[in-house]
Amino acid sequence: MPPRRFNGPQLKTARRRAGKTQLELARSRGVDLTSHAPVAQWEAQKTFPPGEKLPGIATALGVDIDVLFPREGPCDLTDVRCDAAYSREGVAQAVGISLWTLGAAERGERRLDTEWVPLLAGLYQVSTDRLLAAQRRSFGEADPEPSAVGLPALTVQLRALVAEHFPEDEPSPDGIAAVVNAKAGTEVVRGDQVDAILRGVPADRVFGGAQGARTIAITGFAHYFGVSELVLDDLGAESRVLADLQYLAGQHGVDLAARGGEGGLSAAMIAVLSDVLARGGNAPQ
């Protein structure tokens, strides 16, 4: 079973970055505690939160769960349940399965009866195929060898650059982030974000959908490894252009598109682009 990795100091850093007290985190939806004491113990790594509370903690702190609590490898039945934020008691109450039946399946002692598979898949919001694959892992059945097929382009390229530049002594994600940030002169990426990208978490999830943060991080990686940003950017050309136009519109406080169903760029946006071209491609600061 590949449980999620938990790091108390990292949780503390994420909580402070989110501007929450221990009590505020404890009382967040999905965490549902009345005292700050459990959170304090988690951060000191004296105890660990139940697996089903990890999604609520990540949501409360605004960090993707695969960044804050990474996991190596695919899920078994326990992991799928916890990722859906359900305790065994909660599952039993929701679908009527007995605690013994569910526990036996998760422990790899007795497989689920056919009738429970679609019910649990629906509750966990996964496909029946994924649930059955998770059950096989609970019973210790081997998975096929992992493949790079289907990994985000940024992950593939970053792994290749790390292997090329550090063939013998691969740096830690924290080490990569530290050098990238030093070159940028400010924090553009964190170690846990580098780790998540290298593990295959899509960049949009790593950066919470913040296109600007994603673009800045890719620029930092490109400078660090001495390659073009286009080597690392896994957006298509049209998507990159649109993202840049949206950034320019936001910087200048204008509407990107014309209003009234006319289509095309707004007159104000055209004026901004004309000014950029007149300055030789350098936008005014």
Q: For residue 257, what are the β-bridge partners?
A: 265
pTM of the complete model beyond 0.75: no
3-state SS string for 94-131: HHCCCHHHHHHHHCCCCCCCCCHHHHHHHHHCCCHHHH
CATH code of the domain occupying 8-68: 1.10.260.40
Contacts of 93 (CB under 8 A, 6+ apart): none
Helix (H) or strand (E) holding 267: helix 267-278
Q: Among 2-6, 46-50, 51-55, which is the least confidently predicted range?
A: 2-6
Please give the radius of gyration of the chain, using alpha carbons only, rounded to the nearest integer: 23
- Give me the pLDDT at residue 102, please: 97
And the tokens for 244? 């840049």
Q: What six digits make up the tokens of 59? A: 């949501």
SS3 at position 78: helix
Q: Which tokens go with 179?
A: 């050098």
DSSP 3-state assignment of 39? helix
Query: Average pLDDT of 29-54?
Result: 95
The predicted pLDDT at position 29 comes to 93
| pLDDT of 149 | 55
Task: Give the mean pLDDT of 195-221.
Answer: 84
- Domain ranges across the chain: 8-68, 77-138, 153-235, 238-278
Joined together, the tokens standing for residue 195 give 């780790």
Q: Comparing C-alpha atoms, which of 93, 106, 6 is closest to residue 51? A: 6
Lowest mean pLDDT among 48-62, 73-87, 135-149, 214-228: 135-149
What percentage of the chain has pLDDT greater than the value 90? 48
pLDDT (0 to 100) of residue 285: 42
For residue 265, the cross-strand partners are 257
Q: Check if 8-68 and 77-138 are the same fold.
A: yes
Confidence of residue 255 (pLDDT cuts 50, 70, 90): confident
77-138: what CATH class?
A: mainly alpha
